Amino acid sequence: MSAKAVSNDGGHTSHGNDEHHIIPLATYYKIFGILIVLTVVTVAVTFVDFGAFNAVVAFAIASVKAALVLGYFMHLKYDNLMNRVIIGSGVFFLIVLWIFCILDIVTRVSNESPL
Amino acid sequence: MSTAKPTTLNVAAGERHHAHHYDNAEHEYQSSKQGVWLFLCTEILMFGGLFVAYAIFHQMFPETFKVGSKFTDVKYGAVNTVVLLFSSLTMALGIYYVQVREQKKAVIAMAVTILCGFGFMAIKYLEYSHKIHLGLLPGDWYNGNLQAMAAELGGLTVPANIGLYFSFYFMMTGLHGIHVLIGMGAIGWVMVRTMKGQFGPGYYTPVEGVGLFWHLVDLVWIYLFPLLYLV
């Protein structure tokens, strides 16, 4: 199809002034494999009762999957620091929102007077 | 310098002039991508509002969410998770093949990604129609009768505010589903442009941006699946 053959020197391809890191195909396949395994693990751990930690375990596995998608599929591992700070700030403020809401809810006292 | 573009520019091979307010093509690429990441940040905060609301109500009514999730089918949720993960892989491959100037393979990868989107929405349709048929609708519209079904599932008692669970179910998967549809449209757009040969190793910014959006949609589902199906 394309007239010009592409030199593929171990995932790095040179084209004039653009030197973007190209993640090799094998890495993508590996990451996909790990994501599928982790999905199976997500379903499997629901058969084990960790009590209060059920949600924590599910959330931890989901976060590992999210990190893999961000790092490899979204190329963040090879991206500049600014883009990592941007997405990190989004997650940070989401956690702030969550913490203050939960603190509010669980520390409320009943409005009904005992007297 | 700003007059008369050189006629040697081969647009069909993905060559392109960068916009005049950028120093060079790399500057344009990095700035555009940063803009996409800022947009994704706002997306995280938008979905985040729903996730925090979920956390609050789950904390207040754990039983409602536990019983509610029994009426979702883990099989559908798991299959859709695999479908979306696979579509993320094919989207990443699409960008890879553009980066190494393998146009045809890139178009195939993007087409497969769109097909996965259709597959995801088809499964969503099956789930939604089943729930709507049973009257398991959000909030006040809830008019299901789950007592008989709950008895079969091992004598569960259905909380009176079970509509709360289905409110979260429909709003979270609904907002996510809209993102899937928009993502499919965007991938269709870059796929047609790839077919026209407008992208190559020197210029593929829109493909990268659309790819990032598609991966974010996958990312949201990674959290939605355990929250709604496996509570």
Q: Check residues A9 and A27 and name the one with the higher pLDDT.
A: A27
Is residue A43 located within the same domain as residue A63? yes
pLDDT, mean over chain A? 82
**What's the rounded Cα separation, in Å, for the pair B22 and B24?**
5
Q: Which domain holds residue A62?
A: 23-74
Asked whether the beta carbons of B199 and B69 are under 8 A apart, the reply is no
Whole-model pTM: value is: 0.87
pLDDT bin (cut points 50, 70, 90) of residue A12 is: very low
- Per-residue exposure over A79-98, b if at least 16 CB sit within 10 Å of its own CB, e if not: beeebeebbeebbeebeebe
pLDDT at B52: 95
Pair A59, A96 in one domain: no
Residues of chain A with C-beta less than 8 angstroms from the C-beta of B218: 69, 73
| pLDDT given at position B157 | 80
Out of A18-27, B159-168, B184-193, least confident range = A18-27
Is B72 among the domain residues? yes
Q: Which of A2, A7, A12, A68 is the best substitution to test chain B (most B C-beta atoms within 10 A)?
A: A2
With cut-offs at 50, 70 and 90, classify the pLDDT of residue A106.
confident
Report pLDDT for A114.
Answer: 66
Contacts of B86 in chain A (CB under 8 A): 32
Q: Cα Rg for chain A, rounded, in angstroms?
A: 22
Q: Chain B residues with CB inside 8 Å of A35's CB?
A: 85
Do A30 and A64 belong together in one domain? yes
pLDDT category of residue A98 using cuts at 50, 70 and 90: very high
Q: What is the pLDDT of residues A44-96, one digit of tens each?
A: 988 888 877 888 898 899 999 999 999 999 999 999 899 999 999 999 999 99
Residue B194 belongs to a domain: yes
Determine the residue type at A91. Answer: V
Whether residue A64 sits in one domain with residue A29 = yes
Is A35 within the bounds of a domain? yes
**CATH number, position B215:** 1.20.120.80
Say whether A72 and B92 touch across the interface (CB within 8 A). Answer: yes
Residue at B84 is within a domain:
yes
pLDDT tens digits along B56-103: 999 889 888 988 888 889 999 999 999 999 999 999 999 999 999 999
Domain-embedded: residue A14:
no
Query: How many domains does chain A fold into?
Result: 2
Q: How large is the average pLDDT for residues B123-132?
A: 94
First-to-last alpha carbon distance for chain B, in angstroms, is 62
Sequence-separated (6 or more) residues with CB below 8 Å from residue B191: B94, B107, B110, B111, B114
Position B10 scores a pLDDT of 63
In a domain, B16, yes or no: no
Report how far residue B76's alpha carbon sits from residue B126's, in angstroms, rounded to the nearest whole number: 9
* Cβ separation B51–A98 shorter than 8 A: yes
B212 reaches A (C-beta below 8 A): yes
A88 and A50 in a common domain: no
Interface of B with A in 100-129 (CB under 8 A): 100-104
Please answer yes or no on whether A106 and B89 come within 8 Å at the CB atom. Answer: no
A 10 A CB-CB count for B177 gives 17
Q: pLDDT value at position B14?
A: 59
For residue B183, tell me if it sits in a domain: yes
Compare A10 and A86 and report the one with higher pLDDT: A86
DSSP state of B21: T
Q: Do A69 and B104 touch (CB under 8 A)?
A: no
Q: What is the pLDDT of residues B135-162, one digit of tens each?
A: 888 878 888 777 767 777 677 788 888 8
Query: Domain of B201?
Result: 25-229
Q: Phi and psi of B7, rounded to 5°?
A: -75, -10
Q: What is the pLDDT of residue B84?
A: 96
Give domain status of residue A85, yes or no. Answer: yes
Between B38 and B152, the higher pLDDT residue:
B38
Number of domains comprising chain B = 1
Kindly list the distances between the CA atom of residue B147 and the CA atoms of B67, B71, B73, B167, B230, in Å, as whole numbers in the listed order: 11, 12, 18, 19, 21
B79 belongs to a structural domain: yes
A 26-85 residues with CB below 8 A of B?
28-29, 31-32, 35-36, 39, 42-43, 46, 55, 58-59, 61-62, 65-66, 69-70, 72-75, 79-80, 82-83
Do A20 and B91 lie within an 8 Å CB cutoff? no
The answer to whether position B99 is within a domain reads yes
A32 and A68 together in one domain: yes
Helix axes B163-195, B205-229, angle to 10 degrees: 160
